[in-house]
Amino acid sequence: PTGENINFFGDNRPLQLPNTQINAYLSFAWWQDKPQWENGDYTSPHIAVDMSFEQYRNNEDPVLQAALNFSDESFVHDPMKYFRNLFTSGKLELLQTEVVRMMQDPAYRFFNFEGEFNKAGYDLLQGKRFEEAIHVFTMTAQLFPESANAWDSLAEAYWKSGAIEKAKEYYHKAISLDPDGNTAENSRRMLKQIESGH
């Protein structure tokens, strides 16, 4: 349940101690890494718990206590799996309600809602499921209206679906939100491609 900087791996191998013949498991190679598709700087905790300086000073572990005493049956361990199930079963209103509820719940404060929705939208887009991708990107843009990236992604979905005017509108929206940033640079590049007919 606790967070980490990144995942740790080792190669625990048995080594028989010469005098006692007891097997000890030692790691001869040790490294830190994450799967390449999880390109984050850290592993987020499943249960969000803060530690006060007083707890630190008294050698108390509120994270361990929270894990040992955890009993919230309504807690969603894997939010994206839950959201995908709602989406694929057509429960779109419940999906919207649950996303808003969980975004407001401090228990999920380490979950990257925008980033995960963006990835899900691009998975749909790569599968040429344009209508579904547009739905996911629209929801993301509504939830994060100040995110240039959300509008840029929505624009790309409209462009790939053939709705050129909508794509232009949302690329311009992305530029207006982040005029000097990388997202605006990408949006301008995409608009040039649209204008050139590529």
Tell whether the model's pLDDT for residue 149 goes beyond 50.
yes
Instruction: Indicate the DSSP class of residue 10.
Output: E
- Kindly write down the DSSP assignment for every residue of 76-119, as one continuous string: -S-HHHHHHHHHHTT-HHHHHHHHHHHHH-GGGTTS-HHHHHHH
Rounded CA separation 126/120 (Å): 10
Q: Where are the domains of the chain?
A: 1-71
Confidence band of 29 (pLDDT split at 50, 70, 90): low
pLDDT tens for each residue of 53-83? 999 999 999 988 988 888 888 899 899 999 9
Beta strand extents in 45-193 (DSSP E only): none
Mean pLDDT, residues 109-133 taken together: 95
Mean pLDDT of the chain: 88
Q: What is the pTM of this model?
A: 0.75
